[in-house]
Amino acid sequence: MGSKNKQKRFRENETFENVFQPTREELVDAVYENKGQWNKKVFKNNNPLVLELGCGKGEYTVALAQKYPNKNFIGIDIKGARFWRGAKTATEKKLPNAAFLRTQIELIESAFEENEVDEIWITFPDPQIKYKRTKHRMTNSQFLKRYKKVLKPDGIMNLKTDSEFMHGYTLGLLHGEGHEVLYANHNVYLQEGSPEEVTSIQTHYESIYLEQNKPITYIRFKIN
C-alpha cells in the first residue's frame, strides 16, 4: 500500500465515530476515558462485549456484529490503515455495535477494566513459529494472563487459525496449564458439529487458504 493511500485512510479513520485511537500515554500514563465505560459511553447499552484481537481488515468483527446485533464488538489492531476497511464498512452499513480500537494487544489491560469483556476472538494470528518469537505468540502464558484480567469470570476465548503449529501449541499450553478446553477441531469444514459462527464467517485470506486445501482449526476455551 502506497504512503499516500495510507495517509488517506489515516485521515478518514479520524472522521469515523466508531474508531478510537488513544496514544500510548493516554493508555499507560493515565486512566483511559473508555476503560470500564465502553458499553455506557460508546455503545450506550449493557450488551455483552466481545473483542477481536489482531482484527486485520476487520472482516470478522463486522460479520459478527451483523450476525449478533445484541452484542457489542470491538476489533483491535495496531495498523489503522488495515482496519480502515472494517470501520468504513461498519459505518456504511450503520452498525451501531461495531467499533475499532487502534492499539497494541499488549496494552489491553490499559484499555479495558477487569471483568469488562465477555468474549475474545483471535482470528488467524501470526503463529510466530521460531522459538525466539514465542513471547509474541498471542496465546502464550503472558497474553493469557492479560486476557484473564479483562475477561469476566465465565469469559470465553476463541482461536481460529490455519496454522496447525499454532493450534497444537495452544492446545498443549492449555492442557499443560490446566485451562478448560470447551471445543477443539482440527478441520472445521470437514468435521460435523463445528460452531456455526466459525464456519459461516470467512475472511478474505481464509477463502484463499481453503482454495489451497489448508485445514482451518478452531479452539474454544476458558482461562482458569
Could you tell me where in the chain the CATH 3.40.50.150 domains are found?
1-105, 114-224
Under a CB-based contact definition with an 8 Å cutoff, are residues 127 and 56 in contact? no
As a three-state string, the secondary structure of 144-158 is: HHHHHHHEEEEEEEE
- Confidence (pLDDT) at 204: 83
Q: What is the pLDDT of residue 214?
A: 92
pLDDT of 172: 97
- Tell me the catalytic residues: 126
Q: Are 128 and 134 a contacting pair, CB within 8 Å?
A: yes
Per-residue confidence (pLDDT) for residue 184, from 0 to 100: 96
Kindly list the averaged pLDDT for each block of 10 residues, start to end, along the chain of length 224: 78 88 92 96 97 95 97 95 93 97 96 98 93 93 97 98 96 97 94 87 88 94 97
Class of domain 114-224: alpha beta
What's the pLDDT at 203?
86
Residue 62 CA to residue 158 CA, distance in Å, equals: 16
pLDDT of residue 148: 98
Query: Which architecture characterizes domain 1-105 according to CATH?
Result: 3-Layer(aba) Sandwich (3.40)
Task: Give buried/exposed letters for 43-52 (b at 16+ CB in 10 A, else e).
Answer: beeebbbbbb
